[in-house]
Amino acid sequence: MNVKTNENISIIGVPMDLGADRRGVDMGPSAIRYAGIVERLESIGYKVHDRGDLIVRRPQVNKTANTNLKYLDEITRVNLELCETVSAEMEKGNFPLVIGGDHSIAIGTIAGVLQHRPKTGVIWYDAHGDMNTSETSPSGNIHGMSLAVSLGYGHESLTSIGGIHAKLNPEKTVLIGARALDPGEKDFIKNLGVKVYTMHEIDRLGMARVMEETMEIVTDGTDGVHLSLDLDGLDPHDCPGVGTPVLGGISYRESHLAMEILAEANVLTSAEFVEVNPILDQVNQTARVAVALMGSVFGEKLC
Q: Which residues are catalytic?
A: 103, 126, 128, 130, 143, 230, 232, 275
Say if residue 232 carries a ligand binding annotation: yes
How far apart, in whole angstroms, are the C-alpha atoms of residue 226 and residue 246?
24
Letter for the amino acid at 6? N
Nearest to 169 by CA among 185, 187, 190, 147: 147
* Cα 128 off chain centre by: 11
**221 SS3 class:** coil
How far apart, in whole angstroms, are the C-alpha atoms of residue 64 and residue 76?
11
Say if residue 49 carries a ligand binding annotation: no
Say if residue 237 carries a ligand binding annotation: no
How far apart, in whole angstroms, are the C-alpha atoms of residue 99 and residue 275?
9
- Please classify residue 181 by burial: count the beta carbons closer than 10 Å to its beta carbon, then call 0-12 exposed, 13-18 middle and 19+ buried: buried
The per-type count for the chain, helices as H runs and strands as E runs, is: 11, 8
Nearest to 169 by CA among 117, 108, 229: 117
3-state secondary structure 91-148: HCCCEEEEEECCHHHHHHHHHHHHCCCCCCEEEEECCECCCCCCCCCCCCCHHHCHHH
Say if residue 126 carries a ligand binding annotation: yes
Letter for the amino acid at 264? E
Please enumerate, by residue number, every residue annotated as part of a binding site. Answer: 103, 126, 128, 130, 230, 232
Which residues fall in the annotated binding site for Mn(2+)?
103, 126, 128, 130, 230, 232
